[in-house]
Amino acid sequence: MSDIWQGPLEKIDEWRWRIPKSYKAGMRVDGIIYADEKLLKDIRADKAPEQVANVAFLPGIVKASLAMPDIHWGYGPSIGAVFATDINKDGIITPAGVGFDINCGVRLLKTNFQYEEIKDKIKDLIYVLFDMVPAGVGSKGEIRVSEREEREILVKGARWAVEKGYGIEEDLECTEEYGAMEGADPLAVSERAYERGKAQSGTLGSGNHFLEIQVIDQLYDQELCDEFGLTLGQITVMIHSGSRGFGYQICYDYTRSMIQSLSKYKISVPDRQLACAPFNSPEGKKYFSAMKCAANYAWNNRQCLMYLVRKSFEKVFGISWQKMGMYLIYDVAHNIAKVEKHTVDGKEMTLCVHRKGATRAFGPGHPALPKIYKDTGQPVIIPGDMGRNSYLLVGTQKAMEETFGSTCHGAGRVKSRTAATKSINIDELLRQLEAKGITIKATGRNTIVEEAPQAYKDVNDVVNVVHNAGISKRVCRMRPLGVIKG
């Protein structure tokens, strides 16, 4: 039997492909995958299109089961899935549609530095950052919290960190949801989740999480770059982390418990990993409030990480982070469910939008955006792998019309961590990265191999699709100079 997915894919245009709902009895909507011919080869080989079709079975789903060009196989829905359910009818919420690393996300800081000014300091910065920012599996942070404060974080999110002096009010304005979702209920979280999360505030974590010093190497929209205060050759810093073991445990707990909801609410799905409950049911409401706790935990985590990054730069350069211009451009979530209003077939609906390995990309004028980004559209931050590039884009009106205001979230894997470890030579990889002028620090050699550029699609191809499809717009591109991996 072929390893290539053999299901139907109808070409809509150069950037979109349809899996018709006639493919499988029980599909309520079509599947739509954003990709070009080149990316489609990897997508078919991964068999993730089957997961796109499976999501189309979910009760209350509207418009289509969507997938971004960084799509790859995941638990339940694929990574790169976007779908929305009508919560005023029989729309569901599913933990697998958010993922295990709840509010895994990225924040981007700018600086006043030009590459030529500090190119000789990059290694020093990486070594100091590696020393000051806890990284790795189960890494425990210096920012310790009491049990009472732990519950405060789950409600306040990044505001807790700002109130403790780990940031400024402006940081919150430049964070999705202003750093916290309302309605988080600490009582919906298990003791095991608390145990796993209590010492991990301000920690990077492992896997694809990273901290990266970058230089802007290409400008695409001069007007937007001027608006954001960005220039060619400017140094930026990117932070990628999430809710750590805390969020993982919440997803694990609720995915298991919601299997019982399938029979209780007579929900039929082709894969038990899509365990779900009606959004307005007790089970649905409880998961949503627990998910918000993890989302708020993650925003606080990235705020604390940014504080440690700023302190590290201060240690190396001996001046304040404010004088170095280390201001936050934006912080976006990648794995999250939100209640949002969208227009579907000419009718405004209140939907539960699931973004799993996908980024919110609201267009100009959206009421959820802070004043500073009302005219530009929401900043969208797309990290690539540690050997290529990352991007800053903005959301568009077309994304609001086509994808519930969503776009891709990164490059997307083409090799599993196990396959990467077996096929990539660590010493050769390090030589290649050094030849590109990239300094790497990691807690283990295995992590470097697992996260090798060869394990990922080329982010330039992925961003090319979302830009040309019009669901987000390129602003500038960055390349890595120094990377810390957990």
**Backbone phi, psi, residue 419, to 5°:** -65, -40
Q: Evaluate whether 70 touches 80 at the Cβ level (below 8 Å).
A: yes
Residue 56 and residue 30 in contact, taking contact as beta carbons nearer than 8 Å: yes
- How many helices (H) and strands (E) in the chain? 17, 19
| Residue 133 identity (one-letter amino acid) | V
Burial 93-131 (b: 16+ CB within 10 A, else e): bbbbbbbbbbbbbbbbbbbebebeebeebbebbbbbbbe
Contact 287, 281 (CB under 8 A): no
Enter the DSSP assignment of 78: P
Cβ atoms within 10 Å, residue 226:
11
Listed as own residue / partner, the contacts of 413-420 with beta carbons closer than 8 Å and 24 or more positions apart are 413/72, 413/79, 413/455, 413/456, 413/457, 414/42, 414/46, 414/72, 414/455, 414/456, 414/457, 415/454, 415/455, 415/456, 417/207, 417/450, 417/455, 419/455, 420/449, 420/450, 420/451, 420/452, 420/454, 420/455
Contact in structure between 292 and 181 (CB atoms under 8 Å): yes
* Rounded distance between C-alpha atoms, residue 421 and residue 128, angstroms: 28
User: Mapping DSSP to helix (H, G, I), strand (E, B) and coil, where does residue 177 land?
Assistant: helix
Q: Which of the residues 209, 240, 366, 409 is marked catalytic?
A: 409
72 is catalytic: no
Active site residues: 409
